[in-house]
A and B are shown apart, each in its own frame.
Chain A
Amino acid sequence: KNQVEQSPQSLIILEGKNCTLQCNYTVSPFSNLRWYKQDTGRGPVSLTIMTFSENTKSNGRYTATLDADTKQSSLHITASQLSDSASYICVVSAGSNYQLIWGAGTKLIIKP
């Protein structure tokens, strides 16, 4: 069964600190892996999309890694800001169609 699991479920860190969010997936066939940021009451916003051959991709202070062998991805946030408080969702695309397998997300809270 295609599944995407994220950890931790929630995380609280102090402003300025770094953090890493995890995503494990069992999706076949694998097409790409996406990280989205969703602010409360808003729609998700795409942070990165990585294909099988990409190990790392950055978007400002966000850096995503992908290990296709172990089927794991991580999202690293550097020098966190209050505006980083949001849910971060890992999404895996199965095949070349529109089928996206969504993780439950990690709720990140940045405290001043």
Chain B
Amino acid sequence: DAMVIQNPRYQVTQFGKPVTLSCSQTLNHNVMYWYQQKSSQAPKLLFHYYDKDFNNEADTPDNFQSRRPNTSFCFLDIRSPGLGDAAMYLCATSLTYRDRGSNQPQHFGDGTRLSIL
């Protein structure tokens, strides 16, 4: 089945130690998104790639970076994690959102739960 896969499901890192979360997709979608979701809150968009074009949200801290080496893979790098970065990180994809593609659904992975010691 085509899907969005996130690894690992659970990640523990130390305060200030860089960490990378990964996401892969078999849907061949143009767009890949990264969301941060804290307990009992709605997901918050951090950034997204439309093909190779990176789009950062204005309020995303510089501590968060992303890479998309090819269509299938996207990475979230947290350079110096703080206690406030403990959260569920969700990767999502959509075929497009431009023109008539605005009604395309987003397909989510099951997330990586990040804990900071």
A-B contact count (CB 8 A): 56
The yes or no answer to A46 lying at the interface (CB within 8 A) is yes
Return chain A residues, CB-CB under 8 Å to B106: 44, 46, 100
- On whether the beta carbons of A43 and B111 are closer than 8 Å, the reply is yes
* A42 closest partner in B (C-beta): B110
Partner of B105, one of A49, A51, A104: A49
The answer to whether A49 and B42 touch (CB under 8 A), given A43-B90, A43-B92, A43-B111, is no
Partner of B108, one of A41, A44, A49, A104: A44
A102 to B110, CA, bound (A): 18
Return chain B residues, CB-CB under 8 Å to A65: none
Return chain A residues, CB-CB under 8 Å to B48: 98
The yes or no answer to B43 lying at the interface (CB within 8 A) is yes
The yes or no answer to A96 lying at the interface (CB within 8 A) is yes
- On whether the beta carbons of A42 and B111 are closer than 8 Å, the reply is yes
Interface string of A71-111 (1 = CB under 8 A from B): 00000000000000000010001011110101111000000
Additional A-B contact list (16), CB under 8 Å, known A43-B108, A97-B98: A31-B103, A32-B102, A41-B88, A41-B110, A42-B110, A44-B43, A44-B106, A46-B105, A89-B42, A93-B102, A95-B102, A98-B31, A98-B55, A98-B97, A102-B42, A105-B42
- Chain B residues with CB under 8 Å of chain A are 4, 31, 33, 40-43, 45, 48, 55, 88, 90, 92, 94, 97-99, 102-103, 105-111, 113
